[in-house]
Structure 1
Amino acid sequence: MRELTEAGGRRRDQIIAAAMVDVATELRLTDPSELIVMIRGEQAANIADLVNSSGELFFRGGALRYALSAGCDVQWDTTPVVRLDMEFHYAAVSAFFKLTIGRKRAGVEVVEVLVDGEDDLDDAIKDERLRGAVAAARAPPRKLGARPAA
């Protein structure tokens, strides 16, 4: 049973990771020193604004949120790495995950996936619900030069 859970966890990591590529790329445009100052200064509202503005480019409003916990690894001989706890909520599906962003790479570790009102779902159904919720939460593509809807 444990192997199924681990395999399900890897599949969910892949689903969320694929969904987060554009968001992570957008977040990486932020000056790392500014992001580190926000994290070390416990400026949760500023980090949430940054995550919201990056997420809303690719997801419907409110689908992706900063989960009010972050950390960073800063050492003299390596590039900084930032970790953000994140939440995805859409279509009765909630996913809680850690997003790690480095200079060239980003990674995701899904902590938990919940489906409202359904406690005993097997891994395959959870994966399918998550995949469907992520697809449904995607913001419609914008035309080049179009302004976002108010």
Structure 2
Amino acid sequence: MGSHVMLNVRNQHAVEREKILAAGIKEVVAELRLVEVVDYVAFLRLDLLGNIADIVDSSAQLFLRPGTLRFADGGDVQLGWGSVPRIDLDMEFRSEGVTVHFRLELSATMAAVQINYIAFAEPDADPAINTERLASAVEAARIPRSLKA
């Protein structure tokens, strides 16, 4: 029973961290969705990953400090007859001693973040404190509105 409770706590923190990261990159995701799905399909299928990296870099530079968000050279295409196409991109976020490897799922109807791995330069034994550190790192990565103009 005890391990089951621990699993629920861990899942609660994982979901909260995914929400924090998703909220922090929502403008970048909106920019990424301006690219046609067929272009992502072509880039992934033809192994033209540098093109996706360029798109991510140019989209991120509008909202995030340089080097904080990058395409991690991997992805998948979910494309079938009668279904909404979905592009999954492997991404990496780095800021203030926090590194997050995650999958960004994009389709015409939704965008989602799924964290695969997260590391803290100096992790705390309390997962809530680590979640706060992620929130702080995401905030620190964002370009203040006053600098965007």
Fold agreement, TM-score > 0.5: yes
> Is 2:16 the counterpart of 1:11?
yes
Residue 89 of structure 1 aligns to a residue in which SS? strand
> Is 2:142 the counterpart of 1:138?
yes
Residue 145 of structure 2 aligns to a residue in which SS? coil
Higher helix share: 2
The question of whether the paired residues in 2 share the 8 Å contact of 1:113 and 1:126 is answered with no
The question of whether the paired residues in 2 share the 8 Å contact of 1:52 and 1:65 is answered with yes
The question of whether the paired residues in 2 share the 8 Å contact of 1:98 and 1:108 is answered with yes
- Equivalent positions of 1:1-150 (< 5 A) are 1-116=6-121, 118-141=122-145, 146=149
RMSD: 1.6
CA distance in 2, matches of 1:124, 1:4: 10
Q: Deviations over 1:116-138 (max 9, x none)?
A: 1x245321011000000000110
Structure 1 residue runs of 5 or longer lacking an equivalent are none
CA distance in 1, matches of 2:78, 2:101: 21
CA distance in 2, matches of 1:123, 1:71: 31
The question of whether the paired residues in 2 share the 8 Å contact of 1:39 and 1:70 is answered with yes
Structure 2 residue runs of 5 or longer lacking an equivalent are 1-5
- How many corresponding residue pairs? 144
CA distance in 1, matches of 2:128, 2:147: 35
Q: Deviations over 1:79-131 (max 9, x none)?
A: 21000011100111111111000102101111122111x24532101100000
Residue 72 of structure 1 aligns to a residue in which SS? strand
**Aligned AA (2:142):** R
**Aligned AA (1:131):** A
Relative distance call for 1:143 and 1:114 in structure 2 (3 A) is: closer
